[in-house]
Structure 1
């Protein structure tokens, strides 16, 4: 679906983390609906892993097999790589690159990647008058009471959430210092949908539970499956990013469905489409686990014109076509082992 009328013909767009889940969806959206010049910047998958065994880069070339634009291989923490971007004179930057694994405890690496690199990109925006749209996270709210509102209960439980809060704070500082600068931060809640498979074990529970049900006729959930999340389909996340391009109101906004749903609700959606399967509940090993998130999207609706279109039921049903394909070709097993 096309979310803005302007063709963006001749506009230059940079997508950092453009080979990842959300970044690749954005790149292909622009290619399908607008004749803009899109440049993808990503470090791409390598053998490098964190101490927990998860890949350091979630970008994968297969997410971009249909992409016809330009690709630059680079690391956002490498200033020499960032310098290569200075000659392009971009109109928009969609900054999706980050360490997004909430189980990583290497604080210095996360803050250097998520915060310092963001500041470098903001300086590029200042020098060239580029509009910045960047990925923040519901992780900034930690276990604060829901619904989650901008400016309230911003008490992250892990260093990833803290890094995103520091990015949001940096945004406010730059907007005060440079009044003509345009920056929109989007606090993503629990995003699920096509092209997340290469996230492996950090992929959404919708994907993981769907594949478990297909493969084993049994799924595993933290006790007792009543933890609630604001699950938002990738199509709505793309909509929010595109709406942010048009917005005249800089700031930070929540991006979710506006409704909290339980993990057991996912199970119900899967059973409705796949039939019966067993559910095994086990103890949650993570002390920082969020038990209830729910996006207050009042400001997002008012200033971005964002209106979520996909319920959990619709999103899961639509996504299952791709999940069945992932299962049939053994892709998940090849990725996670």
Structure 2
């Protein structure tokens, strides 16, 4: 996600400074400043004043169990970054939250729903939302917007391994043989195309008030449907092979976000359907 946003901002003529490390997406087109080794080891003196902070960094592995490390990276480092930016004159902050905070609550999810974080990652995002909104209340002259990301797919995820979307993982499996799905492939996800997420970030940076909003497509696609769509677009005839879900009980089987609040607060409505996003992804050359 970060690489897509970075290049979009650069294409609009903004001066962009990013943090990162060698295992992240390579961006030969990027002409700005990149600070290594990433958010946890950031050289604060090299940042300087920023007009808008887009905070995308996190340990986002939902199966990572080291709660202490996740809280250090996702919560404490975020607090330090927000405080630094505000103390140096930044008035607008946009950060990545997650629909994982809803856990196994019934879908569709609304921002007013109770949270049910099932993993250390989800809890770190819930606590970051709480901190960000408390910080915004303390600084009424600053606008802070959290985007509760659903499953983002599109170019720029090929370096993520098991953290890549099932769309990318299934595509790689299907090039070699049949894909393996959790029984019986009816798990549903709210997939949002990465270009829509870039739009949401830019709109959030122009928001009139602080808020936390969903960032999804507002629709669902099952794992079985992903395989069907990939068969069609790749010209294949693969058949799913089903296996037991080792994460049963702590696994989000249905994510779907209500997008009405995001439209009201930041003016965001997704443009790409799942099929349109998948076609654009394939045409980019990044899917296979």
In the TM superposition, 1:272-291 aligns within 5 A as: 272-273=232-233, 274-287=235-248, 288-291=250-253
Structure 1 residue 239 corresponds to structure 2 residue 207: no
Deviation at 1:303, TM superposition (A): 1.4
Q: Supply the distance in 1 between the matched residues of 2:152 and 2:64 (Cα, whole angstroms).
A: 19
- Map Cα deviations across residues 225-276 of structure 1 (whole Å, 9 max, x no partner): 1111100010111110011111112110100000122111111211222231
Q: Supply the distance in 1 between the matched residues of 2:117 and 2:97 (Cα, whole angstroms).
A: 12
In structure 1, the partner of 2:5 is 26
In structure 2, the partner of 1:9 is none
In structure 2, the partner of 1:102 is 62
Whether the 8 Å contact between 1:175 and 1:181 is mirrored in structure 2 is yes
In the TM superposition, 1:63-102 aligns within 5 A as: 64-78=27-41, 81-85=42-46, 88-102=48-62
Q: Supply the distance in 2 between the matched residues of 1:270 and 1:40 (Cα, whole angstroms).
A: 34
Q: Supply the distance in 2 between the matched residues of 1:153 and 1:125 (Cα, whole angstroms).
A: 30
Structure 1 residue 169 corresponds to structure 2 residue 130: yes
Deviation at 1:76, TM superposition (A): 2.1
User: SS in structure 1 opposite 2:130?
Assistant: helix
Whether the 8 Å contact between 2:171 and 2:287 is mirrored in structure 1 is no
Q: 1:115 to 1:209 in 2, by over 3 A?
A: same
In the TM superposition, 1:259-274 aligns within 5 A as: 259-273=219-233, 274=235
Q: Supply the distance in 1 between the matched residues of 2:211 and 2:246 (Cα, whole angstroms).
A: 35
Whether the 8 Å contact between 1:129 and 1:181 is mirrored in structure 2 is no
Higher relative contact order (CA 8 A, sep 6+): 2
What TM-score do the two structures reach when normalised by structure 2?
Answer: 0.95
Q: 1:317 to 1:198 in 2, by over 3 A?
A: same
In structure 1, the partner of 2:18 is 40
User: SS in structure 1 opposite 2:268?
Assistant: coil
Whether the 8 Å contact between 1:269 and 1:317 is mirrored in structure 2 is no
- Map Cα deviations across residues 114-154 of structure 1 (whole Å, 9 max, x no partner): 00011111112321231110000011011111011113131
Gaps of 5+ in 1: 1-21, 46-58, 328-337
Structure 1 residue 228 corresponds to structure 2 residue 188: yes
How many residue pairs match? The answer is 285
In structure 2, the partner of 1:316 is 278
- Map Cα deviations across residues 270-325 of structure 1 (whole Å, 9 max, x no partner): 122223112101101113210111111111111111111111111112212346x6
Whether the 8 Å contact between 1:210 and 1:320 is mirrored in structure 2 is no
Q: Supply the distance in 1 between the matched residues of 2:101 and 2:22 (Cα, whole angstroms).
A: 26
What TM-score do the two structures reach when normalised by structure 1?
Answer: 0.81
Whether the 8 Å contact between 1:101 and 1:160 is mirrored in structure 2 is yes
In structure 1, the partner of 2:110 is 149
In structure 2, the partner of 1:158 is 119
Whether the 8 Å contact between 2:99 and 2:150 is mirrored in structure 1 is yes
Q: Supply the distance in 1 between the matched residues of 2:242 and 2:30 (Cα, whole angstroms).
A: 41
- Map Cα deviations across residues 4-24 of structure 1 (whole Å, 9 max, x no partner): xxxxxxxxxxxxxxxxxx111
In structure 2, the partner of 1:111 is 71
